[in-house]
Chain A
Amino acid sequence: MAITFEHVGYTYQANTPLATPALTDVSFTVPDHGYLAIIGHTGSGKSTLIQQLNALLKPTTGQLTVDQFTVTPTTTNADLKPLRRHVGMVFQFPESQLFAETIRQDIAFGPQNFGLDPDKALKLADEMLALVGLDASYAQRSPFELSGGQMRRVAIAGVLAMHPKVLVLDEPTAGLDPQGRQEMMSLFERLHREQGLTIVLVTHQMEDVAQYAEQVAVMQHGTLLRVGTPQEIFSDVAWLRTADLDLPRAAQFAQKLAQRGVNWPQGLPLTADDLAAQLAAQWSTKGVDHV
């Protein structure tokens, strides 16, 4: 099992008058090469949860396992470096982590910290630049000359350069234009499919959840409400509303059609492609007059 949470709880500023519990009794499992999406209303504990994954925050109760690593409340910082390399974190607005003189040096920074020889790290940086869709002319430029979207790519390349086995993404497409969003999400999908990366994605974009995730975890007020496939999670619309969440747009539209008498024998379609396929099938069997 790639990732296992066992009764993990986390309290900010524990043992002070300002103590605030952020996670209570979270247990779930993500299989090897899984793709988990974590959804929930703002402030539901999603970001706290994912920071447990590379022990930037250590659980105050319970324990979690990421492949061969186990993190408990008593794990010391000295044991964590291999874990940090194993789990790549892309934070919200990761472009704010850029600092080096050239893009190349910035991307090579992570691998060098984990002991890779500087020459090899720079070579690796060039590869990563191509992977995130920037050409070689960018290598020697300053990261601060770039547009916001390009800076984000460089930051993500800097994380991918460490060759993590688990990739944690905290709203990686927030603030990007539709095309940039599309490109980013398909890059992650490709890494997941081709290199077998386990992906943990925090997002508010239900479309991305429906399209890419294999498993969905729903958070509310620091507790885990449900874990299941997108199909399971999105089938109970009334329950979703109570968790302050909504259906993907395609499913919303399909639901409106259902109110007008269209049946969805294979379950509510969640993506536009699925919706189109099911509609097309019905079109050919029932003919034009039904619509």
Chain B
Amino acid sequence: MSKFLFGRYLPLNSIVHRLDPRNKLLLSFCYIILVFLANNWLSYLILIAFTLGAIRASTIPLRIFVRGIRPLIWLILFTVALQLLFSPTGGHVYFHWTFINVTQYGVVNAGYIFIRFLLIITMSTLLTLSTQPLDIATGLASLMKPLRWVRVPVDTLAMMLSIALRFVPTLMDEAQKIMNAQRARGVDFGEGGLIKQAKALLPLMVPLFISAFNRAEDLSIAMEARGYQDSEHRSQYRILTWQRRDTVTWLIFALGLALILICRRW
């Protein structure tokens, strides 16, 4: 479990860390659109430059990203391989055997997909590494506010989201603890055939669910005792402020967008 850096927070104090979480969420979202807008090598080069710039600004060492991507590399390579082998005919055909076509079109597209994956994963890893989970929750809640007008229970969703995020590490600890206790009772996790492995999960899943139910009950009682009624008319403790550096990031983003739109014309 320690290998997965995706979804973790690395406490540093860079300019990226201090950006408004709402801003970072919006930027990451728009960045993904930007990645799909890019359609030739030059535009991808620009994107890579921007991404490396963002990583540099976050002061997080590059090797951490490399390690974060490593567990996902098989998924990426699998997708790339599919694209490479089963592309429709187009351009120069390098290799042909029954239904397998390796064409120029396929090779180029596989390369694009590889870079797209890499860029999107890197940027979203940057988002989670530089933003505390609670800030992400507050940011999301704040961004969802307009949905109130179409009767989406935004505050309830925000409450659920922040509770869920809060309990992810607690439940992880709990799971680890139960796993250890069952191991001490002779359970082998992750060994044997598929059915044996699935059976071994039972002594972990049952206590974990029971503990989650108990926790939910305790938490709801504690919340009621502290005057939580329903989610409306609540004031907020964490107030997000949009600062000049947030505006600057959008100027940089606009520059990137403009460059890529120009590249698309070529």
Contacts and interface: CB of A to CB of B under 8 A. Distances in A.
B23 to A, nearest CB: 26
A187 interface: no
A222 interface: no
Interface residues of A, number: 28
A99 B202 contact: yes
B206 A99 contact: yes
A99 B203 contact: yes
Interface in A75-92: 81, 84-85, 87-89, 91-92
Determine which residue in A81, A84, A96 has the highest number of CB atoms from chain B within 10 A of its CB, and name it. Answer: A96
Contacts of A16: 2
Given A99-B206, A144-B210, A94 B181 contact: yes
Contact of A91 (B177, B187, B188, B202): B177
Q: How large is the interface on B (under 10, 10 to 19, 20 to 34, 35 or more residues)?
A: 20 to 34
A81 B211 CA distance: 27
B226 interface: no
Given A97-B178, A99-B206, A144-B210, A159 B2 contact: no
B184 interface: yes
A96 B174 contact: yes
A81 B185 CA distance: 10
B181 A97 contact: yes
A213 interface: no
Contacts of B227: none
B13 to A, nearest CB: 16
Contacts of B174: 96
A88 B187 contact: no
A144 B211 CA distance: 11
Contacts of A88: 184
A92 B2 CA distance: 23
B180 A96 contact: no
Interface in B182-207: 182-188, 202-203, 206-207
B47 to A, nearest CB: 26
A88 B185 CA distance: 8
B237 to A, nearest CB: 28
B184 A13 contact: no
A110 B203 CA distance: 11
A162 B206 CA distance: 22
A114 B181 CA distance: 15
B205 to A, nearest CB: 8
B184 A113 contact: no
A198 interface: no
B251 interface: no
A16 B64 CA distance: 9
A158 interface: yes
Given A99-B207, A109-B203, A144-B210, A84 B183 contact: yes
A278 interface: no
Contact of A109 (B10, B177, B183, B185): B185
Interface of A: 13, 16-18, 51, 54, 56, 81, 84-85, 87-89, 91-92, 94, 96-99, 109-110, 113-114, 144, 158-159, 162
Interface of B: 2, 10, 61, 64, 174, 177-178, 180-188, 202-203, 206-207, 210-211
